[in-house]
A and B are shown apart, each in its own frame.
Chain A
Amino acid sequence: MDQIITAVVAVVGVPLVLLGYIILGEQVIERLPDKLQESIRPYFWALPAIGFATVFMVYPVVRTVVISFRNSDDTDWIGLANYKYFVTFPDTLTALRNSLLWLVFYTSISVFLGLVIAILLDRVRYESLAKIAIFLPVPISAVAASIIWKFMFDYQPPGTPQTGTLNAILGLAGRDPVAWLVNSTTNNAALIFVGIWTITGFCMVIISASLKAISSEVLEAARIDGANEFQIVRLVITPLLWPTITVVGTTMIINALKTFDIVYVMTNGAYDTDVIATRMFSQLQSAHYGRAAAVGVVLFIAIVPLLIVNIRRFQQQEEQR
């Protein structure tokens, strides 16, 4: 009950407090000399946002780097020991390899499928209906998606009726059932596919929005010049969509590196399915903060190039404004 009251107070109170902050603050600022007004006002307005970003993002990032060089109860400097532990821990190589698999296959396949589906659907009358089907998994949480796919991958011993959809289909084809999530040759592919399934609709929607912006005249001109449909896709549509494809691609790379939910819920890293983010979380849970921080820093370093790309792109856009 107390929780409900607190929540209601927050929902009503926070906007009211901000309103008061703005109105009262402006009352004070407007009485100041013009020069002072100009220099104080922007910081007054941006302060809550900058404050939150500093306390919950900027400071923690710096602090995490520091913690990664400290021992587990944060009392002494231990140099690179946490990194050394990470590199020499037997499961680490597996986690790194799996994150690399996610990076390559999750990114390329989801962007590729998003592009192909957007182009295919652009050519049929029931486009909006088909889009809903492909997009449906996007709003679904990774937790629910994991349960959905646990049923798809479900395994019963050979000879008993298969309850998992995939193994039932294999049975129809006269094949033995596969323990998708346990078998270490299939489980990473299975998890990555679940990731792709949840995100392809997202890629498709964005790529499709850009596709609609290509004028039909361009495509018509290519057709008149005798280009077949495959040539048009390869030589006209794809190059025109390339800026969008790279934006979607970078988003997918970041998603791939941060992957956590699906692996945590479906296998919890068992049977060699660990990724960087799940490794970090298990260190966090066992209160090895230094080691967890070191894993976090490794993840961050992997993302830094994308961070730079994002800032560059932002600066280019600003110049065009």
Chain B
Amino acid sequence: MSAEQVTTRRESAVGAGVSTLDRIGYRLQRLPLHLVIIILCAIWLVPTVGMIINSFRSVQDMGQSGWWTTLFPPHGFTLDSYKQVLNIEGVAPSILYSILITIPATVIQLAIATMGAYAFAWMKFPGRNLFFIVIVGLMVVPIQMTLIPVLQIFKLIHISGTIPAVWLAHSGYGLPFEVFLLRNYLGGLPREIFESAEVDGAGHAVRFLRIAVPMTIPAIASLTIFVFLGIWNDLLVALTFLGVSPYRPFTVVITGLVTSFGGGWQFLTAAAVLQMSLPLAVFIFLQRYFVRGITSGSVKG
């Protein structure tokens, strides 16, 4: 994805010093390849671009003609959809609630996961392998398998329908994967550094805070982006634990609007653009971390 990664194998079939005619023939031969790629890219780009364009049109226009008609004058761009969406009761607060759910949930689970991963990577204890195998297994357990009992726990301790309850739920669901990934990363750090720190009399607290955490920052950074977006985009957990609460996050509120407006749902394009603008900004500006998070999680795992 990033520039340094691109080691394209293009034109490896043509050596240096071939005639112009050969080169033209080669170009022609590759024409189908470029066509296929351009068509694929169009299929993956056009839907998003179309919707973003639509979000800047009036609801009336959206109901009468496709987004492509706006490409030709008169364009008729307007921010009406955005105004309409933000004026619906509960929409603006729901954006705030999404933030208030996402940031603490991310911080809590990564703090706990880093600490647990350190124990699994650098301490020996009976049952370590068994515990870790359970964690590997939990990574694929569908959260549907946990919703009802967790709901009951929240009711029992009287926090159901609150934002902190959702932090806890997300933290529990996210931990197995994070502990797994961070333990692999921490375990890959050079043993000598920890050993010499130990010789110098540094206890585990110092070794963890001064050596392990700073050296794990790249992995934690990738994971943070990943976890943050996962929670920001989450629907199922929020719907289950906050579905009827006043603190519904953005995704739940949008979903409610999609299903309740039979016709005239077009202005929700603006809501979708607002919802996805954060993930897209993160992707565009932190692309390298983002992609690294994905590849390290899957290829090694």
Which positions in A face B, CB cutoff 8 Å? 3-4, 6-7, 10-11, 14-15, 18-19, 22-23, 26, 30, 39, 41-43, 45-46, 48-50, 52-53, 55-61, 63-64, 67, 117, 120-125, 127-128, 130-144, 146-152, 161-165, 168, 197, 200-202, 205-206, 209-210, 212, 216, 219-220, 223, 244, 247-248, 251, 254, 257-258, 260-261, 264-265, 268, 277, 280-281, 284-285, 289, 292-293, 295-297, 299-300, 303, 306-307, 310-311, 314-315, 317, 321
B153 at the interface (CB under 8 A from A): yes
Contact B1 A205 (CB under 8 A): yes
Is the CB–CB distance between A56 and B171 below 8 Å? yes
> Does B199 have its Cβ within 8 Å of any Cβ on chain A?
no
Contacts of B104 in A (CB 8 A): 7, 10-11, 14
**Partner of A67 from B118, B149, B203 at Cβ < 8 Å:** B149
Binds A, one of B17-25, B189-197, B215-223, B231-239: B231-239
Q: Who on chain A is nearest to B125 by CB?
A: A42
Given A50-B116, A200-B44, A220-B12, 6 other A-B contacts at CB below 8 A? Answer: A7-B99, A42-B125, A117-B40, A161-B65, A254-B142, A284-B240
Which A residues touch B118, using CB under 8 A?
45
CB distance from A72 to the nearest CB of B (A): 11
| A310 near B136: Cβ-Cβ < 8 Å | yes
Q: Which residues of A contact B264 (CB under 8 A)?
A: none
Q: Assess whether B44 is in contact with A299, with CB atoms less than 8 Å apart.
A: no
Smallest Cβ distance from B125 to chain A, in angstroms? 4
What residues on A are CB-neighbors of B46 within 8 Å? Answer: 165
B residues in contact with A247, CB < 8 Å: 298-299, 301
Binding site for A on B (CB under 8 A): 1-3, 5-10, 12-13, 33-34, 36-37, 40-41, 43-48, 50-51, 54, 62-68, 96-97, 99-100, 103-104, 107-109, 111-113, 115-120, 123-125, 128, 131, 133-150, 152-153, 163-164, 167-169, 171-173, 175-176, 179, 187, 203-205, 208-209, 229, 232-233, 235-236, 239-240, 243, 247, 251, 254-255, 258-259, 265, 268-269, 271-273, 275-276, 279-280, 282-283, 287, 290-291, 294-295, 298-301
Interface residue from B43, B107, B137, B148 paired with A11 (Cβ < 8 Å): B107
Best-buried of A7, A125, A165, A254 by chain B (most CB within 10 Å): A7
Which chain A residue lies CB-closest to B107? A11
Q: Name the one of A11, A18, A122, A293 contacting B115, with C-beta atoms under 8 angstroms.
A: A18
Which residues of the partner chain A approach B276 to less than 8 Å between Cβ atoms? 139-141, 144
Please determine whether A49 and B113 come into contact, CB atoms closer than 8 angstroms: yes
Cβ of B30 to closest chain A Cβ, rounded Å: 8
When the two chains form their complex, are residues A307 and B269 in contact, meaning their CB atoms are under 8 A apart? Answer: no
Most buried by A among B36, B50, B120, B235: B235
Min CB–CB distance A58 → chain B (angstroms): 7
Contact check, B148 vs A284: say whether CB atoms are below 8 A apart. Answer: yes
Question: Judging by beta carbons under 8 Å apart, are A141 and B269 in contact?
Answer: no
A-B contact pairs, 30 of them (CB 8 A): A3-B163, A10-B167, A14-B107, A18-B112, A22-B115, A42-B119, A48-B116, A52-B175, A56-B171, A56-B172, A57-B175, A58-B138, A117-B40, A123-B10, A132-B1, A135-B1, A135-B291, A140-B279, A142-B235, A143-B254, A143-B258, A144-B272, A148-B272, A219-B9, A258-B143, A258-B144, A264-B235, A277-B142, A284-B148, A300-B144
Chain B binding site: helix, strand, loop or mixed by DSSP?
helix
Bound Cα distance A122, B119 (Å): 41
Output the least CB separation between B90 and chain A (Å): 14
Residues of B within 8 A of A164 (CB): 66
The answer to whether B141 touches A307, judged by C-beta atoms less than 8 angstroms apart, is: yes
The answer for the CA separation of A57 and B255 in the assembled complex, in Å, is 27
By a CB distance below 8 angstroms, the chain B residues around A121 are 37
Q: Within the complex, which residue of A10, A123, A152, A289 is in contact with B107, where a contact is CB–CB below 8 Å?
A: A10
A59→B137 CA distance, assembly (Å): 14
Give min CB distance, A33 to chain B, whole Å: 16
State the CA gap A281–B149 with chains docked (Å): 14
> What residue of chain B has the Cβ atom nearest to residue A171's Cβ?
B66
| Interchain nearest-CB distance for B33 vs A (Å) | 6
Instruction: Please name all residues of chain B whose beta carbon is closer than 8 Å to the beta carbon of A6 when the two chains form the complex.
Output: 100, 163-164
Q: A residues within 8 A CB of B37?
A: 117, 120-121, 124, 130
